[in-house]
Amino acid sequence: MAVQRYWVRTRTNTLLEEIVRRLPKNSRILDLGCGSGVFIEKLKEKGFKNIIGLDINLEHLKYSLTIDKNNTLVLGKGEELPFRRKFDAVICAEVIEHTKEPFKMLKEMRRILKPGGLLFITTPNKKSSFPILWEMWKRWKGKIWSGKELHETDFTPASLKELMEKSGFDVIRTRTILSVSYLIPFFERKGWVIDIIPDKIGFGCLILLIARKSACKPS
């Protein structure tokens, strides 16, 4: 589906840019919720080699091995990470919204990070302009949404930042990405307005947050 390809490509490229800018190539990285390993391959293309993927879905991990049999993969949960060795960075892309215990997951990520280690998180933005425009487009087209809600926790940039700080992280950067004109055909002709405004004022579809492990313990 074109919308999904656009979503994944934009998120992937933006996240990669931030990682390449902030991490040396010899960093030990955990991709938490790695799925079929697509982002692991993107990291390797950028020169990162020491990557471990973790996912709760065994079939996803099996598929990842068909892409590269040398991938280092672990079956496990984000709320109970099975690691003792520390990581330089953790990537958590569209995962935290699926847990009922985001605070526990964040504390686990903090535990396995080295002092000063970085956490890169993306998650859907509850404050996004997309839900409003999506409803307008559905009514205009006479469509009814029948999808199943899969998110346990919704975040705004402010609420995610607050939770990060309570979990023992210093937030380095918070931004939103993915405007909506491409996602809703009705608005494409006025995309110059809808593309510019959302990301500038925090209404983009995805939150991208980068944080550093703080010396202070979680509250």
- Specify whether domain 2-212 bears CATH 3.30.470.20: no
pLDDT value of position 151: 73
Return the pLDDT at 145. 44
Q: What is the pLDDT of residue 187?
A: 47
pTM of the model: 0.82
* pLDDT score, position 110: 97
Segments in the chain below pLDDT 50: 137-138, 141, 144-148, 182, 185-201
Sequence-distant (≥ 6) Cβ neighbours of residue 19 within 8 angstroms: 43, 46, 48, 89, 91, 120
C-beta of residue 36 within 8 angstroms of C-beta of residue 118: no
